[in-house]
A and B are shown apart, each in its own frame.
Chain A
Amino acid sequence: MTEDEDTLLDVAPGSPHNNIMSEVVAYVIGLGLALGLTVVSFWVASTSVIWGPGVATGLVVLAIAQMGVHLVFFLHITSGPDNTNNVLALAFGVLIVFLVMVGTIWIMAHMNANMAPRPELMNLQMQH
C-alpha cells in the first residue's frame, strides 16, 4: 500500500493516529477538557465573584479555548508538517469569520447610534 507512505507527509482532518491507546486517550482528554471548560463557562456566567463587565469577555475566551480543544483532540488539527494544508485553510476561515463578525457588529453599532430617534422608530433601536 503506497497510501500508507503518503499519509506520513499529509494527513486528512479528523483522521486519527495509528495506536489504539493513544487514539482513545486523545478523545478522552478532549472530552475531559471540553467538559471542564463547559462547566467553567456555566459557573462564570452564574457567579457574582467575577467583576460583572468582564464576564462576557471571559465567556468568549473560554469558548475560543473550547473550540481549540475540539480542533486539536477531535479533529486532530496539529502544528505538525503533515497538517500544513489543514491549518492554512483553517487560518483563512478564521480570518473571514473574524472580518464578517467584527466588521458587521462594528459598522451596525455605529449606524444604529447615529440613527435619528423618531418616535415611530424607537422600537427598532437597540434599547435595553
Chain B
Amino acid sequence: MTTEAATIGLTHGGSEDTGLGHRGPESKSIVVPYGFWLFVLSDMILFSALFASYATLVHATDGGPTTNQLFDRNLVAIETVALLVSSFVCGLAMITAKRANMMWTQAWLVLTGLFGAVFLFIELYEFAKMIGEGAGPQRSAFLSAFFTLVGCHGAHVTAGLLWLGTMMAQIWSKGFKQHILRRLLCFSIFWHALDIIWVAIFTIVYLIGTLP
C-alpha cells in the first residue's frame, strides 16, 4: 500500500485526513480499470452524438438509396453473433488468465480475435458492396451519417484487434505479471463495451431501418 501511495504522491499517516478515507488511495488494480471504465463511458458519449446525427439524417436520402434497399438482415445477424461470441470468449480468456494458464489464455484470445475478424470482414464486405453500388458516404447525408457511425465502430474493432495481438505477445513474452493482467482487463472492458455499442447499432440502424 505505502509504495503505491507514494507513487501518486499521497501518504496517509496517523490521523492526517487525506480526503481518501482511512485506507488511503485504492490499489492500482482498482484505479487503472476504473479510469479505463471512465474512458469507455466517454467513448459511449461520443457514439451517442453519432447516433443522434444518424437519427436526424436517416431520411435525408437526396433521392438516393434508402435503408430498406441497402441493408441485409442475414449478414447483420451473422455479424451480431460473431461479435457476441467474441465477447463471450474474451471473458473465458480472462478467467484462464487470472489462473495463469498460458495455453488456454492464448487459445481463447486467438478465438476472440478470429470472431472479431469475422465481424470486421463482413462489415468491410458490406461497405465495399454499398460503395460499389454507388451508395458511398458522399451520396447523401443519410449515407454520410451511416458510414460515420458504423465506420467509427468498425475502427474501434480494428483498434481492438491490434490491441489484442499486442496483449497476446506481451503475455507470451512477459508472463502473467500484475501490470500485464491490468492491461488485459482494460482490453476486456473495451471489447465488451464495443459489443454493447453494436447492440445499439444493429437495433437502431439495421432492424428499425429495415422495418416494412
Q: Which residues of A contact B (CB under 8 A)?
A: 2-3, 6-7, 9-16, 20, 23-24, 27, 30-31, 34-35, 38, 41-42, 45-46, 52, 55-56, 59-60, 62-63, 66-67, 70-71, 74-75, 85-86, 89-90, 92-93, 96-97, 100-101, 103-105, 108-109, 112, 123-128
Q: Counting CB contacts under 8 A, is B124 at the interface?
A: no
A126/B59 in contact, CB under 8 A: yes
Q: List 21 A-B contacts (CB under 8 A).
A: A3-B29, A6-B27, A13-B34, A14-B185, A14-B192, A15-B29, A24-B92, A35-B81, A42-B73, A45-B211, A63-B199, A70-B195, A74-B195, A75-B193, A101-B48, A104-B49, A104-B53, A105-B52, A109-B56, A123-B62, A126-B59
Q: Which residues of B contact A (CB under 8 A)?
A: 1, 23, 26-27, 29-30, 32-34, 37-38, 41-42, 44-45, 48-49, 51-53, 55-56, 59-63, 73, 77, 80-81, 84-85, 87-88, 91-92, 94-95, 98-99, 141, 185, 188-189, 192-193, 195-196, 199-200, 202-204, 207-208, 210-212
A46/B29 in contact, CB under 8 A: no
**Which of A15, A24, A74 is B192 in contact with, Cβ under 8 Å?**
A74
**Which of B53, B192, B196, B211 is A55 in contact with, Cβ under 8 Å?**
B211
Given contacts A20-B99, A71-B196, A93-B42, 16 further A-B contacts (CB under 8 A): A3-B29, A10-B26, A13-B34, A14-B185, A23-B95, A24-B92, A30-B88, A31-B88, A59-B207, A63-B203, A70-B192, A70-B195, A93-B45, A97-B44, A104-B52, A105-B52
Most buried by A among B34, B37, B80, B141: B37
How many A-B residue pairs have C-beta atoms within 8 angstroms? Tell me.
Answer: 156
B87/A62 in contact, CB under 8 A: no
The verdict on A101 contacting B52 (CB below 8 Å), with A38-B80, A41-B203, A93-B45 known, is: yes
Majority-rule SS of A interface residues: helix
A34 to B192, CA, bound (A): 12
